[in-house]
């Protein structure tokens, strides 16, 4: 009797495992058949591009492709060792020597200010700014600026960086500003009056809130910049990147297996960003949210009113926390 039960359980487990892996294989095949790649052949030889968080993952693939098209690419990241290795790898892969590293730590608004001051002083143009860097993590962690870390790294600091570089972007038009958001924005519970994160929320909601702010930033900023500056956001897709390293044991093994073997690759996830940065057909398209190279729907709450409110509150928060940097 006991042996029969054991054999039944083993047989059931085998059947479930086979079904599970069959589903994963079908998903992988579907993704391969339905993941569009940017096919535009535009060269970027006279362009300067900044890609934040581009020393690995999706940002690295984005920077590499833009460098291959001839752009001067600035790797704006926190980890110097990893970033310098990324610069060398991109130069070797593309033959383009105009790839550089500039330190940028989005968890410190002082670092954002230092990066922007240095860039504005030493670079004569900025054709494409790609706010790609992202962070997630457990706990309610505040930065030295008194802002919840996920919201600062993913939203507040990129907004600050964009504002500090805006004159250079406008002076280089036609130019583009790109916010790498996420489909996770659809599950947000944003409080536009608590962008600094006074009230703790769970790890998923923190990330979702920061990502809807990316979408809202693009929507609001698109109405403020002059004609010739396109501002858009996007969902890159899901791939195995450092962003998912916080998955706890024992789920991490299964999670990483699925990410590595089923989901999109970082190169595939970079395609919509590359499309927004390069396609001549998108020069006048602004204030939109993209997915798989096409304009996509956002959460119904993403309205002009909410976008304006979040952007205004973000600028007010930045001004409050950066008064000491003003002359």
CA–CA separation, 313 and 6 (whole Å): 61
Q: Are 290 and 214 in contact (CB under 8 A)?
A: no
CA–CA separation, 275 and 290 (whole Å): 10
Q: Are 158 and 112 in contact (CB under 8 A)?
A: no
Residue 129 per-residue DSSP state: E
CA–CA separation, 130 and 135 (whole Å): 15
* Chain position carrying tokens 């993590």: 137
* Choice among 160, 207, 244, 325 that is catalytic: 207
Structure tokens at 133: 């860097």
Cis peptide bond prior to 250, omega within 30° of 0: yes
Structure tokens at 102: 């500039």
Provide Rg for the chain, Cα atoms: 21
Q: Are 161 and 179 in contact (CB under 8 A)?
A: no
User: Phi first, then psi: what are they for 88, rounded to 5°?
Assistant: -60, -40
Contact partners, residue 125, CB within 8 Å, separation at least 6: 47, 48, 168, 171, 172
Is the alpha carbon torsion for 39, 45, 51, 54 positive or negative? positive
95: closest CA among 59, 129, 68, 127? 68
Beta strands (DSSP E) in the chain are 48-52, 72-77, 99-103, 128-131, 175-180, 229-235, 289-291, 294-295
Is 207 among the residues known to form the active site? Answer: yes
Residues noted as catalytic: 207
């Amino acid at each position: 009797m006991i042996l029969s039960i054991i054999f039944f359980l083993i047989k059931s487990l085998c059947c479930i495992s086979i079904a599970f892996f069959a589903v994963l294989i079908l998903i992988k095949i579907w993704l391969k058949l339905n993941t569009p790649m940017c096919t535009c052949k535009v060269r970027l030889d006279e362009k300067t591009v900044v890609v934040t968080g581009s020393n690995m993952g999706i940002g690295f693939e984005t920077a590499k492709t833009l460098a291959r098209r001839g752009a001067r690419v600035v790797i704006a990241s926190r980890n110097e060792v990893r970033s310098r290795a990324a610069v060398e790898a991109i130069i070797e892969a593309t033959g383009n020597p105009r790839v550089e590293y500039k330190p940028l730590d989005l968890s410190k608004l002082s670092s954002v200010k230092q990066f922007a001051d240095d860039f504005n002083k030493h670079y004569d143009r900025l054709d494409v700014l790609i706010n790609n860097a992202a962070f997630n993590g457990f706990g309610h962690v505040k930065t030295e600026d008194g802002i919840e870390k996920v919201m600062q790294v993913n939203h507040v600091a990129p907004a600050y960086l964009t504002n500090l570089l805006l004159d250079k972007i406008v002076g280089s038009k036609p130019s583009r500003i790109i916010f790498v958001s996420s489909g996770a924005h659809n599950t947000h519970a944003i409080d536009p009056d608590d962008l600094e994160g006074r009230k703790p929320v769970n790890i998923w909601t923190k990330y979702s809130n920061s990502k809807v702010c990316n979408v809202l930033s693009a929507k609001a900023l698109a109405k403020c910049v002059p004609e010739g500056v396109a501002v858009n956001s996007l969902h890159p897709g899901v791939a195995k990147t450092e962003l998912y390293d916080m998955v706890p044991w024992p789920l991490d093994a299964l999670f990483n297996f699925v990410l590595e073997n089923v989901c999109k690759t970082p190169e595939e996830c970079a395609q919509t960003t590359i499309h927004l940065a390069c396609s001549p057909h998108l020069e006048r398209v602004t204030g939109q949210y993209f997915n798989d190279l096409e304009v996509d729907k956002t959460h119904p709450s993403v309205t002009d009113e909410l976008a304006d409110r979040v952007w205004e509150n973000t600028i007010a928060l930045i001004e409050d926390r950066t008064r000491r940097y003003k002359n």
